[in-house]
Structure 1
């Protein structure tokens, strides 16, 4: 039950934070553009690519935790 609450809290936290993930060079070039649609697209792409390593690590950590918990219960 605690795991579900933790996962839900983390998921809500990621949805509620406005993330800007541009480097200084990209930001300087993209701020000169009118409309800012390209800048928003690049931000979304960077955040999208950044999420997957965290999801993979969370999955590995979950399976390690689950296997250790199973061993502890069997003892």
Structure 2
């Protein structure tokens, strides 16, 4: 069961298309900079937003993995 969950999570992470989301303020800033001819600010904002979005998922998945590994070691210690 747990292998299926990890497999489905891995498939969903690896098969995603690049996502770009912006708040209203960020969007207005990007639109103003693009009209001035600078598109580097928009790419930087998108990368920052994606970085902030991904970090909680990495932290939570790391905690879940460590918890799972600990419980597996405890089960092996009890079965011996």
* TM-score, normalising length: structure 1: 0.69
Q: Does 1:9 align with 2:11?
A: yes
Cα displacement (A) at 1:27? 0.4
Q: Please give the root-mean-square deviation of Cα atoms over the aligned residues, in Å.
A: 2.4
**Equivalent residue of 2:33, what SS?**
coil
Cα displacement (A) at 1:38? 0.8
Cα displacement (A) at 1:5? 4.0
**Equivalent residue of 1:59, what SS?**
helix
Q: What are the superposed Cα offsets for residues 2-48 of structure 1, whole Å, 9 maximum, x if unpaired?
A: 477456424413xx322223211110221132243211111101212
Q: Could you list the runs of 5+ residues in structure 2 that have no partner in the other structure?
A: none
Distance in 2 between residues matched to 1:31 and 1:43, nearest whole Å: 13
Distance in 2 between residues matched to 1:6 and 1:59, nearest whole Å: 16
Higher Rg: 2
Match of 2:44 in 1: 41
Distance in 2 between residues matched to 1:8 and 1:54, nearest whole Å: 13
In the alignment of these two chains, the number of paired residues is 72
